[in-house]
Amino acid sequence: MSRLIAVSNRVAAPKAGKSAGGLAVGVLSALHEQGGVWFGWSGRTTESEPGDTKSSRSGDIEFVTIDLNTADFDGYYNGFSNDSLWPLLHFMVGYFTFRRSQYAAYTRVNEFFARRLVDVLQPDDLIWVHDYHLFQLGLSLRQSGIKQPIGFFLHVPFPNFDVLRVLPCYPQILRGLAAYDVVGFQTERDLSSFQDCMVQPEIGGAVHDDGTIEVFGRRFRADVFPIGIDVAECQRVAVENSRHKQVERLTGSLGGRKLIIGVDRLDYSKGLELRFRGFETLLESYPSERGEVVYLQIAPPTRTGVRTYDRIRQGLETAAGNINGRFAEMDWMPIRYLNRGYSRELLMAILREARIGLVTPIRDGMNLVAKEYVASQNPKDPGMPVLSTLCGAAKELKEAVLVNPYDRQGVADGLQQALAMPLNERRARHAAMLSILEKNDIHAWSRRFVEALRSA
């Protein structure tokens, strides 16, 4: 049986007490299913030329890592990936910057990944590349003579052409994607945007009736593969940790009040300050909820030291302070804002305790927290997600309370609707959403993509 070679910017070997992100959960699930190699950056940089790959093994999975040159990493990751691609892919052009030197570093790192990966490959391997950091890896592998199937999955949104062409090097990005045999997206909207970019006159591609795209002298498949979660594992972990000491302390401190929870990385795409103001509008518009609800926002820091993210953290702290100052009583604090990370085990148990899962990013490829919230609930007395229409999960979780995150009153009304929802309605909506999650779980996602890659 051929090996699966998963490639991503960073290799995240499982560690006790650490909460894995959506990409890591998806990659590990695929590799656990059939064994293989996870290849990527080690997390270490060096001032000199990086050395050879390093390898370790856990069960059927081999973890192969490379170090990166410090200057190249800064241009590739902090620069082009996060200052150019991330805001552009999330339709947030106001945060976009571009420097040719950073794009050159991005290209060098993609070429370096390819050179080191070639030494790891065997003739019948299937190669599955993940996310925007490695748009051009497939092209570099083709130029190195690699013939076997190479797939690519984008975990974040893909913008329409009018947004993409803000990037001066967008034709090179599209040419890089055309080097793959299968290109996967989270939603039909993302796929449609990608197809539209490929058929622009300056690109010259064509979309065939079978869904394949012909461009740059190649023909490849592009399709929708919405990523899921391990539903049974979420349920098991949530129940097993329900008696965790910190969970009991949290529920005890609520004093019978209803818990609203948000769990997000500290990033501008998550719309956290808008979310805080939506909760503030709930307290303004529905005075009966004052003293009856507590909003807990967990927002682990990300990209610390980057000025944009420092401003986000400061803005959230200010907003939380303002809202608590307006509405708090001696025995009630409306917002609890925690700027730190927690283990996956603890998070699943906390999600289960929450009456509302508040998930309102202003743009997101999928958002697995929304799915994990639904899966973690007690089906006899489930909570309800209040979910942004601008994230991929809204395409599947149609029974959630759907809101526009820019509409503060709409968010407040959605929160009130979920808080007042009768038990029978909550049960029915939860059952419908859980059925979708079980059908489109993480295992179905990985199998479907790998099958598409094999057929390529």
The CA distances from residue 39 to 129, 180, 271, 405, 418, in Å, are 9, 17, 32, 37, 43
Q: Which two tokens stand for residue 335?
A: 């917002």
Q: Which two tokens stand for residue 59?
A: 């069960």
* Nearest C-alpha neighbor of 362 from the set 265, 279, 274: 274
- Catalytic one of 181, 364, 413, 441: 364
Q: Which two tokens stand for residue 98?
A: 């571009």
The CA distances from residue 4 to 15, 148, 435, in Å, are 22, 11, 29
Euclidean distance between CA atoms 91 and 169, whole angstroms:
17
Mapped onto helix, strand or coil, the DSSP state of residue 338 is strand
Q: Is the CA virtual torsion 181, 186, 188, 191 positive or negative?
A: negative
* Nearest C-alpha neighbor of 420 from the set 352, 375, 355: 355
Q: Which two tokens stand for residue 310?
A: 């420092």
Q: Is 155 a catalytic residue?
A: yes
Chain CA centroid to CA 300, Å: 14
Beta bridge partners of 126: 4
Q: Is 364 a catalytic residue?
A: yes
Euclidean distance between CA atoms 212 and 220, whole angstroms:
5
Cβ burial of 120 (10 Å; 0-12, 13-18, 19+) is: middle
- Catalytic one of 155, 190, 267, 413: 155
Cβ burial of 200 (10 Å; 0-12, 13-18, 19+) is: middle
The values of phi and psi at residue 140, to 5°, are -65, -40
Residues annotated as catalytic (active site), given as ranges: 155, 364
